[in-house]
Copies of this chain bind each other. A is one copy, B any other.
């Protein structure tokens, strides 16, 4: 390796170490940390952010990037060396636009904000969280200003952090197409349920009495089938489940609701999808800026694929049912595969995004996408947010929000300063089907294998066609490599129409 390239990797490796350290401290904050540690943790994260920013924007790094670019000029663009220089340069130029103090301030506010959010959510009291949200938005507006002239609108700058290269207008167009497909589907299901009265008559086996310990044991039976290194991951509990970590140290979280098995089961599969992506990045990209998933949309395609496309499929239900019966005999005795499959795919407008079914889920996202744009542009005041939230929930989903805990306070994102993140969930839905269709075409016995609990072949295919690339290519390029085509809503809508059409007996 050339000298400049060697030095560059060492410098970038240090930045990566510090980012990973911060990631573990954030995990710790949400799973392990005593509550009174929040203020000190906020200082620690802010200082780490300062140090990362200093190193990621130092003029020495700029010089090294120039030298390494010269040295690697002859390398093919898809080589690790050329990709490293290209991506690191893009990160560097972007990071140089943001003052270190602002980054530190955002880290500190995010850490304190999460702590306030947890209290506010526990007491269902938006007022406790309001000043933190106002502060978070104020900081985000200052952040957006750092990119003045680069983007068409404020929201573009936020979105770019999570889905690099994607613009608000594109997302809005995709969401229109999604909405146009989903609304009639949801209406047809509602009409069908109204006609047959089936929904009222049936009770879901996923609701009942499920002790948390037994749920955890069940999840720990299922996840290893997806194929982690047995000593390379762990599972914990968090108020808002998330995944973090690196190959060899993947940290999944889930939440146990003792009256609803679906919460823990599907959120564990979801986070496992994220974890498998991070664990599957090519080892030679470790400790470089290429060593993680390329965008949140691609990331979410993996989590939604395992949670929904696999986890709520008839083959998976066939395999999982005996495990459920062994874990919770009273709830699942006599339950047929078809009944579990229908329970796993029940469509019903509801309050909580992470519990929403596949048909209504994207409407939860679209609501947040709209509110975020209004908040950042100052068209909506934070004080008016709960009312705006509740009104839109009524409009889009026909549900009444009974309290802020089940409304505007349900998600952790805004407390941590994550604005522009939500749309990637719905993009992930769309992408998950594009990738799934290709995988299924190349692995023709996939359904039969899933029915036997053989989940590793799919994981291997995903590693080969997506995970291993890390951040070597842009999200757009990566999508084409994995799915063979650019963003396309049709497979997702076709999948929902077919699956839910079968569940609810809709006309084709």
Contact = CB atoms under 8 A, between A and B. Distances in A.
Contact of A231 (B18, B35, B287): B35
A489 B290 CA distance: 59
Contact of A248 (B32, B39, B47, B248): B39
Interface stretch (A21-29, A300-308, A353-361, A454-462): A21-29
Contacts of A34: 229, 231-234, 248-250
A110 to B, nearest CB: 15
Q: In the assembly, how many copies of this chain are there? A: 2
Interface in A228-282: 229, 231-234, 245-250
Contacts of A18: 44, 47-48, 51
Contacts of A21: 21-22, 25, 44, 47-48
Contact of A36 (B38, B43, B231): B231
A263 to B, nearest CB: 23
Contacts of A286: 40
A43 B17 contact: yes
A67 interface: no
A33 interface: yes
Contacts of A46: 17
A249 B40 contact: yes
Interface size on A, as a range, is 35 or more
B17 A249 contact: no
A104 to B, nearest CB: 10
A37 interface: yes
Interface centre among A36, A48, A233, A248 (most CB of B within 10 A): A36
A422 B31 CA distance: 33
A390 to B, nearest CB: 32
Interface string A161-192: 00000000000000000000000000000000
Interface centre among A22, A37, A232, A250 (most CB of B within 10 A): A37
A13 interface: yes
A275 to B, nearest CB: 11
Interface in A1-58: 13-14, 17-18, 20-22, 24-25, 28, 32-41, 43-44, 46-48, 50-51
Given A24-B25, A35-B231, A233-B34, A14 B248 contact: no
A33 B229 CA distance: 13
Contacts of A36: 229, 231-232, 247-249
A204 to B, nearest CB: 32
A246 B40 CA distance: 8
Contacts of A287: 40, 43
23 contacts: A13-B47, A14-B50, A14-B51, A20-B40, A21-B22, A21-B25, A21-B48, A24-B24, A24-B25, A25-B25, A28-B28, A33-B249, A34-B234, A34-B248, A36-B247, A36-B249, A37-B232, A37-B246, A37-B248, A37-B249, A39-B248, A40-B248, A41-B249
Given A18-B47, A32-B234, A40-B286, 9 more contacts: A21-B44, A24-B28, A24-B44, A28-B28, A34-B233, A34-B248, A37-B249, A40-B247, A43-B287
